[in-house]
Amino acid sequence: MVQTAARKIASVKIIRNKQTGHSEGYGFIEFSSRGAAEHTLMNFNGQMMSNVEITFKLNWASASIGDKRGDSGSDHTIFVGDLAHGVTDSMLEDVFRAKYPSVRGANVVVDRMTGWPKGYGFVRFGDLNNAL
């Protein structure tokens, strides 16, 4: 069953600690289709991982960008990693908007406990070609 799901994966990003290089214990998986993602979520959430005593804890990715989505169609989001400590939402948005006018927003993910940036974020585009 894991091999079948693996064939439907488009990309994987493991989040690592910048200082140690060790995994932070989570990551992102992009699937080839929404159906493949739904299938994996339904069949693997709560299951034990192979060769490891850890359970899969799966959920839909969500980055709180103030829910600025209008009714003007779907957005396309990219992950941006290895951000410098001082990067803000507006800085990230401005950098991408300078090259891609279809940028609809950006979000630098912040640790809820410390308030410190986690070193990654998301940028939303209105045009899929800009997100590729």
Q: Give 116's contacts (C-beta < 8 A, 6+ positions apart).
A: 85, 110
Do 82 and 40 fall into the same domain?
no
Q: Considering the domain boundaries, does residue 18 fall inside one? A: yes
Do 40 and 82 fall into the same domain?
no
Q: Considering the domain boundaries, does residue 34 fall inside one? A: yes
Mind listing the pLDDT tens digit for each residue in 39-55? 887 777 777 766 666 66
Q: Considering the domain boundaries, does residue 38 fall inside one? A: yes
By residue range, what is the domain housing residue 14?
2-44
pLDDT greater than 60 at residue 37 = yes
Tokens of 25: 């214990």
Mind listing the pLDDT tens digit for each residue in 76-123? 788 888 888 899 999 999 999 999 999 999 989 888 888 889 888 888
Q: Considering the domain boundaries, does residue 55 fall inside one? A: no
